[in-house]
Amino acid sequence: MRKITMKNKKQAVILCLALAAIFLIGSAAAYFTDTEQVKNHLTIGKVDITLTEPKWDAVPDKEKQDITPNKKLIKDPKVTNVGINDAFVFVTVQVPVANVITANQDGSRNPKALTELYSWTVNSGWTKMGIAADVKNESNLVVAHEYKYVYGTESVCTALAKGVTTPELFSSVTFANVIEGEKMPDGTSMEEAETDIDLKAFAIQTTDLTEKDVTDPANVWKIFETQNKT
């Protein structure tokens, strides 16, 4: 049997101590750890609006029927922000048109022309965008004109805050002074015809629309339109 000398014993002891030290250091290092966690509580916003006409709704139905030329009717569209975030607001109005003869205040007649059957005056706080667009039916006949309005100016949209209502877009509409015997675009008699003024309201958040905030109506509307294409 091979004998272990004192030198070998010393080397063995040193080796054991070295291994023990490495083990202890390794064990200690295994406990020197740390973990941190941060939970960010974020609430998602909401853009929501309502389009109302309280004065119009209060008008008795009989007063909205059998209207006569130059008849003025109360109509008061306004938009309320019922969401959480500020919003930029737009409203479109489609007014029916017909190729008719109208009369002036003195009774003289105008030449037959494509005429908007209702007119109105836009109130302060709202601005018309561009010109009216033609709305056509299945037969490619122009049956209405569509106007677009922004709550704001030509250059800057006005932010509508939570719980706030815009001024009325307009306060009344007036039926055109159309002479008797004229016809609607589909050829039916204008007398006893049913007509509609269609309004739609649109809203979009006021910030983070692009890398740089956009506030001019044309570009804001373009962003809204692009996002909502079907």
pLDDT at 209: 86
Strand partners, 149: 91, 128
Q: What is the pLDDT of residues 13-24, one digit of tens each?
A: 455 555 555 455
Q: What is the pLDDT of residues 83-122, one digit of tens each?
A: 999 999 999 999 999 999 999 999 999 999 999 999 999 9
pLDDT at 12: 52
Burial readout 39-65 (b: 16 or more C-beta within 10 A, e: otherwise):
eeeeeeeebebebebeebeeeeeeeee
Topology at the third CATH level for domain 49-227: Immunoglobulin-like (2.60.40)
pLDDT level of residue 124 (50, 70, 90 thresholds): very high
Alpha-carbon span 104 to 85, nearest angstrom:
48
Residue 6 pLDDT exceeds 70: no
- Residue ranges per structural domain of the chain: 1-33, 49-227
pLDDT at 45: 82
pLDDT level of residue 5 (50, 70, 90 thresholds): very low
pTM of the model: 0.82
CA distances to 80, 98, 208, 220, 224 from 212, rounded to whole Å, are 27, 44, 7, 12, 16
Classified as helix, coil or strand, 183 is strand
Alpha-carbon span 92 to 95, nearest angstrom:
10
Question: Tokens at residue 62, please?
Answer: 């009989």
Give the containing element (helix H, strand E) for 7. Answer: helix 6-31
